[in-house]
Amino acid sequence: MRLACFLIVLLSLVGCTPALTVQITSPNRDVTTNGLVSFQVFVSGGTPDAVQLLMDGKPFATLSPPYQYTLNASSLSEDTYEFSARAIVNGRSFEGGLVRVTVDRTSPILVERSPLPDAIGVAADSSIRLTFSERVEAITAPGAAVILQVGGKVVNTTVGLSSDGRTLAITPVNPSDLACTTVSLEVRSGIADQAGNPLVVPAPNPWSWQTLGDACPKP
């Protein structure tokens, strides 16, 4: 114990600079956003004289304790930026943390739909698919986001998103409900990309198609 105290005093007398550890603790992963991002920097090993948030290796903001900063992505162009942190003590710099922030203000677009609007003679068990221009997030309320109807009545469905997030499959619980009739599909709110940009659905929306089936009247 006495030796440890002696070493601490000796180091202070010779002006030894402590080695600092710098971390970005929030966000703790890469972010895609069109709004605000809150940064939290944590410094251990000593008290820094200054703490900076760096963007692409250059000083972006000087932070005061408790070393927090809120980035407004609206001030940046759409691109991917690398954020890190720097702590300075006795003229020495220590850097750490790396978070990539992608600024995205472009909405995904519905680029393909199957069946097509006004299609005729579609098999009742044909797959119903929507394809998007970019990845969308998992849909938390699929029953409210996509509405399948027959004769003005909502058809019970299951909704599945592909692994790449670009194709949505809508499957009726009972495919026979879609036989020999007019089926309509409407995409409502609730589908967005990772940044929260809502899906754009070109007209027509809703749209409909005519189906076939074994029970259809014979011509």
The pLDDT value recorded for residue 214 is: 66
Whether 47 and 123 map to the same domain: the answer is no
Whether 145 and 199 map to the same domain: the answer is yes
Whether 26 and 77 map to the same domain: the answer is yes
Q: Which residue has the tokens 């995904």?
A: 108
Whether 97 and 120 map to the same domain: the answer is no
* pLDDT > 70? residue 178: yes
Strand positions, DSSP E, the chain: 21-26, 31-33, 36-44, 50-55, 58-63, 68-72, 80-89, 92-103, 110-114, 122-123, 128-132, 146-150, 153-154, 157-161, 167-172, 182-187, 207-212
Whether 26 and 97 map to the same domain: the answer is yes
> Which residue type does 43 have?
V
CA distance 177 to 188: 22
| 174 occurs within a structural domain | yes
CA distance 11 to 72: 43
The pLDDT value recorded for residue 12 is: 47
- Which residue from 145, 40, 50, 47 is spatially nearest to 99, judged by alpha carbons? 40
> Which residue type does 96 have?
G
Q: Which tens digits make up the pLDDT trace of 1-40? A: 454 444 444 444 445 677 999 999 999 999 999 999 999 9
In the chain, what percentage of residues exceed pLDDT 90? 82
